């Protein structure tokens, strides 16, 4: 039986789908859509039950994201960022976890982990200055995180004895952040993934963690790696986009009679092969992803840290799902012929959105090299998993 959240996502998608062009043109998700998602607790899927969240199983959250992506990739991207950044709720000290994630039932977090900011130690916390790209959903966020490197009074990086810099994830209140107007793109335009910045903003102790060093305080969902869970969200969007592309092509092919032909597009053998190949690509990728997530979930809910093998399988399934989904979309885009080049065609927007999603670093083709090295028994830096 579908969960309450999944049932809502499916019903919500039927009303969201007709608004795709509107969302793309606005370059952000409209407030009424975000308000409905807040009210139905979609942004609380990854917040602990102790804070009033749903603390949903990992696969449930990914399926909700996928369903929303079938209707609109940009809206799904904002949902994905809100859910995946909420994993921080399992890392923060109790006071700040409650302040950020427990006091506002509709809270949305967003931000960027890339350390393009600088943080200096000051009395009671850190002072941060920086600018970040890819601020998806920042227009709606109540709190934003911005990856920063800790520097000393001399401006030099603070490092551990082994030379590792201190990569921090400070969390800013929305009123501390300036949102810039830089998001002019050909795909995922409605995600509002614009730049944002802060200037000498104070972040008190406890409202930041050290990336890769701070450990989760809770088990279950919070044992999933921060970036790894983000990657799972990205590929779930890709799966949703691919499913929609196949559905659109099937509907089009049954009605369209190509120029200089008396038969429908569906009667052409290359279209039949393309649909079958796309179905196989998406279904097999989705199955592999589900297998990897469920295996990791069993370990995480048993209270065990995820092993290197679990993280390896998650990364492989993540990249595979993204790449196979892109293949399926390309097949459908090509099979549709000239129809797909017009903005009025959903296939046009799906194609653009997909080829922005594939540019995310967490689904980069280089993942195959990393995973392949481990499979071959070669010395590999698995901290990147």
For residue 97, tell me if it sits in a domain: no
333 and 270 in one domain? yes
252, 339 contact by CB (below 8 A): yes
Q: What is d(CA 227, CA 315) in angstroms, rounded to the nearest whole number?
A: 10
pLDDT for residue 258 is more than 90: no
376 and 257 in one domain? yes
For residue 290, tell me if it sits in a domain: yes
- Looking up residue 36, the CATH number of its domain turns out to be 1.10.540.10
123 and 83 in one domain? no
110: β partners: 144
How many independent structural domains does the chain possess? 3
For residue 38, tell me if it sits in a domain: yes
pLDDT tens digits for range 90-100 = 999 999 999 99
Helices 308-335, 366-375: axis angle to 10 degrees equals: 140
pLDDT of residue 260: 66
pLDDT tens digits for range 109-153 = 999 999 999 999 999 999 999 999 999 999 999 999 999 999 999
As given in the structure block, the two tokens for residue 221 are: 């969902």
For residue 337, tell me if it sits in a domain: yes
Give the mean model confidence (pLDDT) for residues 197-203. 98
Q: How far is CA 280 from CA 16, 180, 185, 285, in A?
A: 27, 42, 31, 8
pTM, two decimals, is 0.96
Q: What is d(CA 284, CA 271) in angstroms, rounded to the nearest whole number?
A: 20
232 and 199 in one domain? no
pLDDT for residue 339 is more than 70: yes
Give the confidence band of 255 by pLDDT, cuts at 50, 70, 90: confident
Find, among 314, 356, 287, 301, the residue nearest to 229 by Cα. 314
pLDDT of residue 382: 83
Neighbours of 383 (CB within 10 A): 10
Strands in 143-151's sheet, in edge-to-edge order, are 178-179, 194-204, 125-135, 109-122, 143-151, 167-173, 208-210
Q: What is d(CA 214, CA 209) in angstroms, rounded to the nearest whole number?
A: 6
323 and 358 in one domain? yes
285, 236 contact by CB (below 8 A): no
For residue 217, tell me if it sits in a domain: no
245, 73 contact by CB (below 8 A): no
End-to-end CA distance of the chain: 33
373 and 261 in one domain? yes
153 and 263 in one domain? no
pLDDT for residue 201 is more than 90: yes
Give the mean model confidence (pLDDT) for residues 289-318. 95
Contacts of 220 (CB under 8 A, 6+ apart): 55, 300, 301
Give the residue numbers spanning the domain of 266: 224-380
For residue 15, tell me if it sits in a domain: yes
Q: How far is CA 318 from CA 28, 37, 369, in A?
A: 26, 25, 14
- Looking up residue 181, the CATH number of its domain turns out to be 2.40.110.10
Mean pLDDT of the chain: 96
232 and 123 in one domain? no
336 and 251 in one domain? yes
Q: Where is the domain boundary, 165, 186, 210?
A: 210
Q: Where is the domain boundary, 25, 55, 90?
A: 90
pLDDT for residue 32 is more than 70: yes
For residue 218, tell me if it sits in a domain: no
232 and 176 in one domain? no
């Amino acid at each position: 039986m579908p969960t309450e959240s999944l049932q809502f996502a499916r019903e919500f998608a039927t009303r969201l789908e007709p608004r795709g062009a509107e969302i793309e043109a606005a370059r952000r998700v409209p407030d009424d859509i975000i308000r409905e998602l807040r009210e139905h607790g979609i942004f609380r899927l990854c917040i602990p039950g102790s804070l009033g969240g749903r603390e949903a199983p990992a696969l449930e959250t990914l399926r909700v994201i996928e369903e929303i992506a079938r209707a609109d990739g940009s809206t799904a991207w904002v949902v994905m960022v809100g859910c995946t950044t909420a994993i921080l709720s399992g890392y923060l000290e109790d006071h700040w976890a409650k302040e950020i994630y427990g006091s506002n039932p509709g809270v949305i977090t967003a931000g960027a982990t890339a350390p393009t900011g600088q943080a200096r130690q000051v009395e009671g916390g850190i002072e941060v200055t920086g600018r970040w790209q890819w601020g998806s959903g920042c227009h709606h966020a109540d709190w934003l995180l911005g990856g920063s490197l800790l520097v000393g009074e001399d401006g030099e990086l603070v490092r551990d004895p082994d030379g590792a810099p201190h990569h921090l994830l400070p969390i800013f209140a929305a009123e501390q952040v300036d949102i810039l107007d830089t998001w002019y793109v050909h795909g995922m335009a409605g995600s509002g993934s614009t730049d944002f910045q802060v200037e000498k903003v104070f972040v008190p102790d406890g409202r930041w963690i050290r990336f890769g060093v701070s450990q989760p305080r809770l088990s279950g969902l919070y044992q999933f790696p921060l970036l790894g869970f983000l990657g799972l969200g990205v590929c779930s969007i890709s799966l949703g986009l691919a499913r929609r592309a196949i559905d659109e092509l099937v509907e089009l092919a049954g009605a369209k009679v190509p120029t200089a032909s008396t038969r429908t597009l569906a009667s052409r053998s290359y279209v039949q092969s393309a649909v079958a190949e796309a179905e196989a690509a998406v279904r097999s990728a989705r199955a592999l992803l589900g297998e990897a997530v469920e295996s990791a979930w069993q370990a995480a809910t048993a209270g065990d840290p995820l092993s290197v093998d679990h993280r390896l399988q998650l990364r492989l399934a993540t990249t595979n799902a993204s790449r196979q989904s892109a293949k399926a979309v390309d097949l459908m885009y090509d099979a549709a012929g000239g129809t797909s080049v017009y903005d009025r065609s959903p296939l046009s927007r799906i194609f653009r959105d997909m080829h922005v999603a594939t540019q995310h670093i967490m689904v980069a083709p280089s993942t195959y090299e990393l995973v392949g090295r481990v499979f071959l028994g070669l010395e590999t830096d698995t901290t990147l998993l």
